[in-house]
Chains A and B, each alone.
Chain A
Amino acid sequence: MDNISVTKVKPHSFFKSKKFKSAVGKGSWYLVLTISAIVVVLPFIWMASTSLKGPGEVFAYPPKWLPQEWRFQNYVDAFQAAPFARYFYNSTIVALCVTVGQLVSCSLAAFAFARMEFKGKGFLFSLFLSTTMISTQVTLVPSYLIIQKLHWIDTYQGLIVPFIANAFGIFMLRQAFMTIPLELEEASKLDGCSRLRFLWQICIPLIKPTLAAQALFAFMGNWNAYLWPLIITNREEMRTLQIGLRYFVSQEGGTQWGVYMAAAMIVILPVVAIYFTVQKSFVEGIATTGLKG
């Protein structure tokens, strides 16, 4: 794939000309990318198509890409066979609370690291960052036992509280706070503005884009969380969407693929919808911070 158009070559014939070469380049570029993109999106199309097929069509060979009869009943069946509405509600509550909690705790901590002087700052900062190196599996069992001791199994607290602190978030917001000019802080001090008010009224509005990106990562990451909700919830009414889907598919014995795909669509759609509305800041957020949602 030519990245730069050739400038020095004199066109002898049309087939050697710059125009022809770039047209061929562009054409093959589009062709290869289109094929790869279709391959990547295919599972989604297959999911959507199966979610609208009746039992007869699901098991038909050869399979058809489009259902002959569009069966929206699968979605109704999914909602009736398992409390997906309840799962949906749980996932939303948990993801929202984690997001808000993380924004508050991370902004406070990030502000302290970025704009304040205190004993043990460097040590504490590297200690915080070191939490990213401790993988989930290492802390999993003891964390579970702590939640059990607190009687937080099958509660929203159990699903929310452990995720309120986040080292990546603190790091990201600290970078943002450091860009705020020192003069602003001095001026606000002279005006008798307290530190908390300076943070809330001046700094927070200035770092809104970073906060938005962080909120998005927190929400999506938690919405998609699997292992922790799996071990922390036993009762059906406390399950999140991901765990509900897992039990739904494993309990039914693996035959109702039309309904399963409808359930998978229900799990996937909200995040995809959010993504399409805030797409730009999300991708930019990843590109600049390397954070994974």
Chain B
Amino acid sequence: MSKTESLAKNTLSPSLQRKQRQRKESLAAYAFLAPSILIFAVFTFFPAIFSMVAGFFRWNLPYDPVFTGLSNFEFLFVDDIGAAEFGKSVLNTLYFMLGIPINICVSLWIAVMLNRRLPGVGIFRTAFFLPTLTSMAAISVVWMWLYHPADYGLFNTLLIRFGLPIQSWLRDPVLAMPCLIVLGVWRGMGYNIVIFLAGLQSIPHDLYEASEIDGANWWGQFRLITLPLLSPTTFYILIIGVINSLKAFAEIDIMTQGGPLGATTTLAYYLYQYAFQYFQIGLASAVAIVLFVFILVLTLIQFKVVEKRVHYG
């Protein structure tokens, strides 16, 4: 062995050693990650890619899939019957999202009220949080009872007390969606209140004191301090709200099954019907693709529009 060679070996070996150690650590890390990687691969990434492909096939179980290009999308967007049905479900989904701003206003109002150190606050917080906690299936059954179309339904009792005609609520194509929205606001409020409270508590108190000295009233403080400093929280709640309303399923399945006359068929329910009632896997996958793009576009719009107005303190 020449002198230079042995020198090279001497200088190389520590770095080689380090490389070996790094490789060992990488291996260990991947072993730690293996369960998660496996499950994500099988039940998230593969299905997502699968949906993207299946959307271009006609695949009505139990028959084999046939490649049909864009024909599923043609059915959804161009076909007289298909486009009308699909368009309605898109509109219904957007209508259902009307609950989000209502929910934000109500929960912000309650959160501001709860943001005080007075005895009994904890009890109120628990009360408002209760609906969020309980399962949508059970809650839907309870609200079906509240919305019962007979005179002994609780909401109808209320109408009668005020001398108004009774309604058939969930069985009325015009009222069914508002009924679901009210239920959604009632159930989602608790979660939003907790998040808003966390946001409110992070606003420095001396800002309010300083503005007090400057003669600001309650409304001024709310408009000029609370709202701007809370905007990241509101933004977050907005995104979660959109994602949740796109996912909404249990209440529709239990209370209305998408009816009456398709008045409560949202995109999620439409997809479920095509996949698990009509067994048209290809068409359901095409809807899934549209839903995916829908979420993507909505998120981008939210970021673009809202970010300008969101104040990150």
Q: Which residues of A contact B (CB under 8 A)?
A: 1-4, 6-8, 26, 29-30, 32-34, 36-37, 40-41, 43-44, 46-47, 50, 58-63, 104-106, 108-109, 111-112, 116-119, 121, 124, 127-128, 131, 133-146, 161-162, 164-165, 167, 170, 195, 220, 223-224, 226-227, 230-231, 241-243, 245-246, 249-250, 254, 257, 260-261, 263-264, 267-268, 271-272, 275-276, 279, 283, 286-288, 290, 292-293
Contact = CB atoms under 8 A, between A and B. Distances in A.
B271 A140 contact: yes
A119 B194 CA distance: 39
Contacts, number: 273
Given A164-B35, A227-B249, A143 B47 contact: yes
Interface string B235-278: 01000100110110110011000000000000110011001100
Contacts of A137: 246-247, 267-268, 271-272, 287-288, 291
A198 B234 CA distance: 40
A142 B54 contact: yes
Contact of A290 (B139, B213, B236, B287): B236
Interface centre among A33, A288, A292 (most CB of B within 10 A): A33
15 contacts: A29-B118, A33-B113, A46-B145, A108-B35, A112-B33, A134-B48, A137-B247, A139-B48, A141-B281, A141-B288, A144-B276, A165-B35, A165-B44, A226-B136, A254-B144
A40 B128 contact: yes
Given A143-B47, A226-B249, A287-B198, A109 B112 contact: no
B51 interface: yes
B250 A227 contact: yes
Interface string B14-28: 000000001001101
A63 B271 contact: no
Contacts of A264: 138-139, 141-142
Contacts of A140: 47, 271-272, 275, 288
B42 interface: yes
A261 B145 contact: yes
Contacts of A230: 253
B189 interface: yes
Q: Is the interface of A mostly helix, strand, loop or mixed?
A: helix
A63 B247 contact: no
Contact of B42 (A146, A170, A293): A146
A231 B47 contact: no
Contact of A146 (B43, B115, B160, B284): B43
A70 B54 CA distance: 56
B22 to A, nearest CB: 7
A82 B194 CA distance: 37
Interface string B26-43: 101110110111111011
Interface stretch (B66-74, B75-83, B148-156): B148-156
Contacts of B48: 134, 138-139, 142
A111 to B, nearest CB: 6
Given A112-B33, A242-B137, A141 B40 contact: no
A58 B145 CA distance: 10
B291 A138 contact: yes
Contact of A47 (B36, B38, B145, B157): B145
Contacts of A127: 40
Given A1-B218, A3-B221, A138-B48, A246 B137 contact: yes
Given A135-B247, A165-B36, A4 B194 contact: no
A131 B137 contact: no
Given A3-B218, A46-B142, A226 B135 contact: yes
Given A116-B32, A164-B39, A59 B150 contact: yes
Given A3-B208, A224-B135, A226-B137, A139 B32 contact: no
B271 to A, nearest CB: 5
A139 B157 contact: no
In the A-B complex, the 5 residue pairs with the closest CB atoms: A142-B47, A165-B39, A139-B47, A287-B198, A118-B29
B102 to A, nearest CB: 14
A139 B40 CA distance: 11
Interface in B125-167: 125-131, 133-139, 141-146, 148, 150-152, 154, 157, 160
Contact of B142 (A1, A47, A112): A47
B150 to A, nearest CB: 7
A80 B155 CA distance: 31
A44 B190 CA distance: 15
A1 B29 contact: no
B118 to A, nearest CB: 7
A146 B30 contact: no
A293 to B, nearest CB: 8
Nearest to B250: A226
A267 B138 contact: yes
